[in-house]
Structure 1
Amino acid sequence: MPPRSQPSERQRRLGAELKKLRLRAGLSGDQAANLIDADRGRVSNIEAGRVDVPRNGLHKLLRAYGCAEGALFEGLMTMAQDRGKGWWDGYRNTMGRPALDLAELEARASGISTHELLVIPGMFQTADYARAVCETADEDDAAAIDRYVCFRLDRQRLLAGEAAAPYHAVIHEGALHTRVGSPQVMRKQLLRLIEVARAPHITVQVFPFEAGAFSAFSRTFAIFGGPTPELDTVRLEQPVTSAVLHDPVHLDRYARLFARLSELALPPIDPDSSPESHEDRDSLSLIQHLMYAL
């Protein structure tokens, strides 16, 4: 089978981790190739995510690279055996590689932490709000908009079920003020935000204006938990595309960044509490205030 031209993010990540381990072990590409009875070109393709490595071959490489059996070892073995199949298969001919990679990242994550500056996170968007976002993005293809909205709503299935992974969102207050669609669309969207926070695995916090500019300097990003911290992934949202980071320095930086954002944000939504119990300002009281003001 010829090398794939568009490896998925999971495939690229597996290759990058193998290369990192090989270099740390001080082995050359030729030495790695000898371990699996291959040539150096195949090792290069494995490390670029363009071809798969058989289970037995991966086991040999990890052992030779000094990767002890444990969470990282098993995590890499699982990544290699994963076929990348999921609900997103139905979109393979209509959505780009970045969108499919996002869906797979979300589905495989042990937990997700996200910081959003300007709009409500896609996981929490209503259909009308999502459509208004797509229309605002200078998209005039009605069929494409329908496709984007359906894809975004399908992603939300991740939040359902008893086995759903923890999801923690820190949303800048500016996103709650930004008018997306009509006042009615915004009102329903804010209500939806309160409703999703009722789930025990979902935490929603608002980063208020008075907390300062710290949130603005951190941009929009998401952290996807891996089977072990070394396999976490950071995804940065950018105007045209997105950037994916998995260097240990970046992982540590964004983990600390999110912890600080959460610390500075208002207390999370607790929909079970009554309005009368809100002696101090919290995320729920702010969202309700904005919702009733529309």
Structure 2
Amino acid sequence: MPRRQQATARQQRLGAELRKLREAAGLKGRDAAELLGTDSAQVSQFEAGLAGVSEARVRRIAAHYTCTDQELVNALAAMAADRTRGWWEEYRGRLPSSFLDLSELEYHAAYQWDVEFLFIPGLLQTEDYARALFSSRVPQLPEDERELRVRHRMQRRVILEKAPPVPYEAVIHEAALRMMVGSRAAARVQLARVLELSEAEGTSVRVIPFDLEHFIDVGAAMVYAGGAVPKLDTVVRDGPHGTVFVDSEAQLGVFRTHFRRLESASLDPGRSRDFIHSLTKEL
């Protein structure tokens, strides 16, 4: 397969998992190349996601590396076989690659958890809310790019609207619900949108209220996308220097624990809806 100019996060992840299998087998790149009847450069390229790898080759690689985790092998083979060019491809070269990588990750997710403390999660945002957020960027975005970002964010909701939807759970702090992004009228519409989606099939929204005692765990804002097997889960975090995709098993375990703690501390979905409804009356 021809060498890619740039690998997507999903292509990089497949390559990284193949590298982990090789390292777990105690093999160097040149050893793997000899077993596979290729050269070290080719091994390096598909482990970096820069060269495609077929489903058959993935299974061959796993056999040579004596990987006995058949569920993982099947999941990696399925990743290799998938050639989906999703709706996000229309934005390639027009938006940062992290936007497209997030869309692709969500599209393939077995389930998704969102945790937010300051803003409404992207999948639950209204167009006006998203536009106000993107308008606040420094330096200011050109109008055409801002509108592209808004449109892209609205299209991400397809995972909640398709049949069946991707199972989705959001944990939102009261601060995010009270943050006045845009006008008071827009804030009211945004809360109504969260309420509407909280009752949709497969979607759950939980609220962490201000008055929760002893709650200090505010550093775990994230998107957690479940993979076909737990080893292929991914956490997405926004930082001051861009978006980071986290996939190490140790860190995934920490974020799973964070989410379960936040989930147990939050109001249940019914009480959360009542809470959000009460906030709308204050606007």
- Normalised by the length of structure 1, the TM-score is 0.91
The residue correspondences of 1:108-147 to structure 2 (distance < 5 A) are: 108-138=108-138, 139-147=140-148
Q: Which residue in the other structure is 1:164 paired with?
A: 165
Q: Is the 8 A contact 1:170 1:265 kept in 2?
A: yes
1:285 counterpart = 2:274: yes
Amino acid across the alignment from 1:53 = V
Q: 1:13 to 1:140 in 2, by over 3 A?
A: closer
How many residue pairs match? The answer is 281
Deviations 1:6-63 (A, max 9, x none): 2111111111111111111111211211222211111111111111123332221111
Counterpart in 2 of 1:242?
A: 243
Q: Would the aligned equivalents of 1:19 and 1:47 in 2 still touch at CA under 8 Å?
A: yes
Aligned-residue Cα RMSD (Å) equals 1.5
CA distance in 2, matches of 1:117, 1:240: 19
SS in 1 for 2:211: helix
Checking the alignment, whether the CA contact within 8 Å between 1:171 and 1:206 is kept in structure 2 is yes
**Superposition pairs of residues 188-199 of structure 1, within 5 angstroms:** 188-199=189-200
Instruction: Letter of the 1:133 partner, please give it.
Output: L
Tell me what 1:99 maps to: 99
TM-score (norm 2): 0.95
d(CA) in 2 for partners of 1:32 and 1:257?
38
Q: Describe the SS at the equivalent of 1:214.
A: coil
**Taking structure 1 as reference, are residues 59 and 140 closer, same or farther at Cα in structure 2, changes over 3 Å only?**
closer
Does residue 223 of structure 2 align to residue 202 of structure 1? no
Instruction: Map Cα deviations across residues 111-159 of structure 1 (whole Å, 9 max, x no partner).
Output: 0011011110110111111111111223341111111110000111110
Q: 8 Å contact 2:95–2:145 — kept in the other structure?
A: no
For residues 84 and 217 of structure 2, what CA distance do their matches in structure 1 show?
A: 34
1:261 alignment partner in structure 2? 262
Aligned match for 2:217, one of 206, 215, 218: 215
Contact 2:2 2:52 in 1 (8 A): no
Q: Which amino acid counterpart does residue 168 of structure 2 have in structure 1? A: Y
**How far off its partner does 1:217 sit?**
2.7
Structure 2 SS opposite 1:285: helix
Show the counterpart of 2:253.
252
* Equivalent position SS for 1:216: coil
Work out the CA distance in 1 between the residues paired with 2:127 and 2:277: 20
Task: Give SS of 1:215's match.
Answer: coil
Moved more, 202-211 or 49-58: 49-58
SS in 1 for 2:41: helix
Amino acid aligned to 1:65: Y
In 1, Cα distance between the equivalents of 2:67 and 2:280?
A: 52
Structure 1, unpaired ranges of 5+:
271-281
The one-letter amino acid paired with 1:286 is: F
Query: CA contact under 8 A between 1:35 and 1:60: conserved in structure 2?
Result: no
Partner Cα separation in structure 1 for residue 141 and residue 53 of structure 2: 43
Q: Deviations over 1:178-207 (max 9, x none)?
A: 110000000000000000011120010011
What secondary structure sits across from 2:157 in the alignment?
helix
Q: Show CA shifts across 1:68-110 (max 9, x none).
A: 3632111100111222410111111311210100000000000
**Alpha-carbon displacement from aligned partner over 1:197-222 (angstroms, at most 9, x marks no partner):** 1112001001111224433132x211
Q: Cα 1:140–1:32, aligned 2, differ >3 Å: closer, same or farther?
A: closer
Question: Which position in structure 2 is the counterpart of 1:15?
Answer: 15
Structure 2's unaligned 5+ residue stretches are none
Distance in 1 (alpha carbons) for counterparts of 2:156 and 2:241: 20
Q: Percent of aligned positions with the same letter in both sequences?
A: 37
Contact 1:84 1:104 survives alignment (8 Å): no
Separation in 2 of the partners of 1:41 and 1:197? 49
CA contact (8 A) 1:75 1:227 kept: yes
4+ runs deviating over 4 angstroms: none
Q: Is the 8 A contact 1:115 1:222 kept in 2?
A: yes
Partner of 1:275: none
